[in-house]
């Protein structure tokens, strides 16, 4: 009996690998183009680390005129959940990171290198497994799970490495005839790789992110095809990334220790190995301890969290680039209005030890990102978010013209307002501008330096009767507040007050504060002149009346 006959017995009906080699030719791309992928398992939770990986992968692919594709790794069917693929596809879409190729919905895909869903590639893996058997580089293993368990115990007792390797790899020593006989007798089996490696020899690997790493060679005869006919991750990775012509495998560093095995698989299959870039996990500072962002403990670990909070996709991406390359921050300082795509991202400048994730910083970045949006953009995005998350805000935004006026306050200038970090902040930020809300609300007016009833009453009365004029420009408007301050015995200039504090009870700023609080119930608001312009005289009068009533 020959290996060829053994292979035919095991996989009688699969195509020759030549068929696939021709079907999926080398890609015709410009020199230096990076082909890379996001290859998640559809387990129902899209982790921010996955988005981070995709962003890195997509960025380098786009920059080099390469390809970024989405492959779904669903060969472990026990772990699969309903909507798993849809969740992944939608997350990428939400972040404007749809792949160039691969799955675009639960069932549809685009691109010439598919199928991009591993469970649909069974025949392909089997062709390559057959090829390995034909070459004597893979063999059927008949060990039962109980035998596997026994082997492990023996190895532990003998204090040697556990696993299926060398002298412990019982089935690798059967003759072809013995293998054939067992198969014909109906014994169950898996297919194992016959590793040519030796543990006492070292291999050198140059990782794009981690740099030079030395490993002992792989000597484990790992399973490549399971008893259900589907491949293991390792084998599928080699076959897929070869046939999909991946140039760079960008993945989580939990796979770094598998590199010796993967390089060996590529070598034995006769494939050119891709470059590897292993990304360290995103870390979090937890009371002084650095630990991985955890699906269980940290809500911000879920990609869905950002959508729920209304953090714009662009802000999340901008922040992730910030932690991916430390030079981003400097670049941003010098290129305030540039698109993130223009940043010269570099894979090998990524942190070896794991970027630190900081929600406060992310929200700060988000404030800046939102400050650059036009009122119209803020309006659209906030409304879209509100429609699924906040009925009251949706109603408030129904009056588009008025809402736009509010959102336009201190926007579109050189120092735009930075008080919105996420769409869920918008309601609190603008609610006081709506008369139906403000006039009916229970307001506690937080008066400051000027806090006596008499003075407040007088300021509000005098202001509306004598000084306020809707037609005034900003300078005249402020001059009038100064005059009002002077008329009431307050310093008209802050400087003057500071020089002669004993002469005055307070100054013009304190008078403004009274007006601001009476108008809005708040000490902190955007520009009061603009607020008054938007509110209009009627509303101002009503607000002052309300304030006086509550004095």
Contact positions toward ligand GLU, by CB under 6 A?
Answer: 39-41, 73, 237, 251-252, 255
Alpha carbon 117 to chain centroid distance?
22
Q: How far is the CB of 313 from ligand GLU (least distance, A)?
A: 22
Which lies closer to ligand GLU via its Cβ, residue 92 or residue 518? Answer: 92
Q: How far is the CB of 44 from ligand GLU (least distance, A)?
A: 12
Query: For residues 363 and 422, is the Cβ–Cβ distance under 8 A?
Result: yes
Query: For residues 490 and 506, is the Cβ–Cβ distance under 8 A?
Result: yes
Q: How far is the CB of 20 from ligand GLU (least distance, A)?
A: 20
How many other CB atoms are found less than 10 A from the CB of residue 124?
23
Q: How far is the CB of 68 from ligand GLU (least distance, A)?
A: 13
Which DSSP string do the residues of 109-164 spell out, in sequence order? EESSS---BGGGGHHHHHHHHHHHHHTTSEEEE---HHHHHHHHHHHHHTT---SS
Angstrom distance (rounded) from CA 400 to CA 402: 6
Which lies closer to ligand GLU via its Cβ, residue 41 or residue 346? Answer: 41
Q: How far is the CB of 242 from ligand GLU (least distance, A)?
A: 13
Which lies closer to ligand GLU via its Cβ, residue 239 or residue 386? Answer: 239
Which lies closer to ligand GLU via its Cβ, residue 75 or residue 325? Answer: 75
| End-to-end CA gap in the chain | 102
Q: How far is the CB of 73 from ligand GLU (least distance, A)?
A: 4
Query: For residues 321 and 54, is the Cβ–Cβ distance under 8 A?
Result: no
Which lies closer to ligand GLU via its Cβ, residue 58 or residue 237? Answer: 237
User: In the chain, how many H helices and how many E strands?
Assistant: 23, 14
Which lies closer to ligand GLU via its Cβ, residue 251 or residue 543? Answer: 251
Which lies closer to ligand GLU via its Cβ, residue 66 or residue 140? Answer: 66
Which DSSP string do the residues of 237-282 spell out, in sequence order? HHHHHHHTT-SEEEEEGGGGGGHHHHHHHHHHHTPPPPEEEEEPPP
Q: Is 534 exposed, middle or buried (0-12, 13-18, 19+ CB in 10 A)?
A: middle
Q: How far is the CB of 94 from ligand GLU (least distance, A)?
A: 19
Residue with the shortest CB distance to ligand GLU: 251
């Amino acid at each position: 009996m020959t290996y060829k006959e053994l292979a035919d017995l095991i996989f009688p009906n699969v195509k020759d690998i030549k068929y696939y080699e021709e079907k999926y030719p080398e890609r015709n791309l410009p020199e230096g183009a990076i082909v890379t992928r996001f290859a998640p398992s559809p387990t129902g939770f899209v982790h921010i680390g996955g988005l981070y990986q995709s962003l890195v992968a997509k960025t380098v692919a786009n920059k080099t005129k390469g390809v970024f594709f989405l492959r779904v790794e669903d060969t472990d069917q026990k772990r699969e959940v309903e909507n798993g693929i849809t969740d992944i596809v939608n997350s990428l879409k939400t972040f404007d990171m749809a792949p160039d190729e691969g799955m675009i919905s639960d069932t549809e895909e685009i691109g010439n290198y598919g199928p991009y869903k591993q469970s649909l590639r069974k025949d392909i893996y089997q062709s390559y497994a057959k090829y390995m058997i034909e070459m004597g580089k893979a063999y059927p293993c008949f060990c039962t799970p109980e035998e596997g368990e026994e082997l492990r115990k023996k190895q532990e007792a003998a204090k040697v490495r556990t696993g299926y390797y060398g002298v412990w790899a019982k089935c690798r020593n059967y003759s072809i005839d013995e293998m054939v006989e067992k198969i014909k007798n109906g014994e169950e089996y898996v297919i194992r790789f016959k590793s040519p490696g030796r543990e006492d020899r070292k291999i050198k690997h140059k990782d794009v992110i981690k740099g030079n790493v030395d490993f002992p060679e792989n000597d484990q005869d790992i399973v490549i095809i399971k008893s259900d006919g589907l491949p293991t991750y390792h084998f599928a990775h080699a076959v897929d990334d070869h046939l999909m012509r991946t140039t760079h495998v960008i993945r989580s560093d939990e796979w770094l220790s598998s590199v010796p095995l993967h390089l060996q698989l590529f070598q034995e299959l006769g494939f050119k190995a891709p470059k590897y870039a292993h990304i360290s996990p995103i870390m979090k500072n937890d009371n002084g301890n650095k630990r991985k962002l955890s699906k269980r403990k940290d809500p911000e670990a879920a990609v869905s969290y950002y959508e729920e909070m209304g953090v714009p996709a662009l802000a999340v991406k901008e922040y992730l680039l910030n932690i991916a390359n430390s030079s981003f921050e400097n670049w941003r300082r010098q290129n305030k209005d540039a698109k993130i795509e223009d940043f010269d991202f570099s894979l090998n400048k990524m942190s070896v030890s794991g970027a630190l994730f900081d929600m406060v910083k992310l929200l700060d970045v988000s404030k800046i990102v939102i400050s650059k949006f036009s009122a119209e953009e803020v309006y659209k995005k906030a409304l879209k978010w509100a429609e699924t998350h906040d009925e009251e805000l949706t109603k408030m935004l129904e009056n588009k013209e008025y809402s736009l006026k509010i959102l336009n306050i201190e926007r579109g200038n050189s120092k735009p307002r930075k008080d919105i970090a996420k769409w869920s902040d918008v309601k609190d930020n603008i609610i006081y501008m709506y008369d139906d809300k403000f006039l009916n609300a229970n307001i506690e007016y937080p008066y400051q330096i000027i806090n006596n009833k008499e003075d407040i009453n007088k300021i509000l009365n005098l202001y509306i009767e004598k000084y306020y004029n809707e037609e005034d420009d900003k300078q005249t408007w402020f001059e009038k507040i100064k005059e009002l301050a002077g008329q009431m015995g307050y310093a008209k200039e802050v400087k003057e007050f500071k020089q002669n504090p004993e002469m005055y009870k307070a100054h013009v700023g304190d008078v403004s504060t009274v007006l601001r609080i009476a108008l809005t119930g708040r000490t902190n608001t955007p520009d009061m002149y603009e607020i008054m312009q938007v509110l209009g005289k009627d509303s101002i009068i009503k607000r002052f009346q309300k304030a006086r009533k509550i004095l």
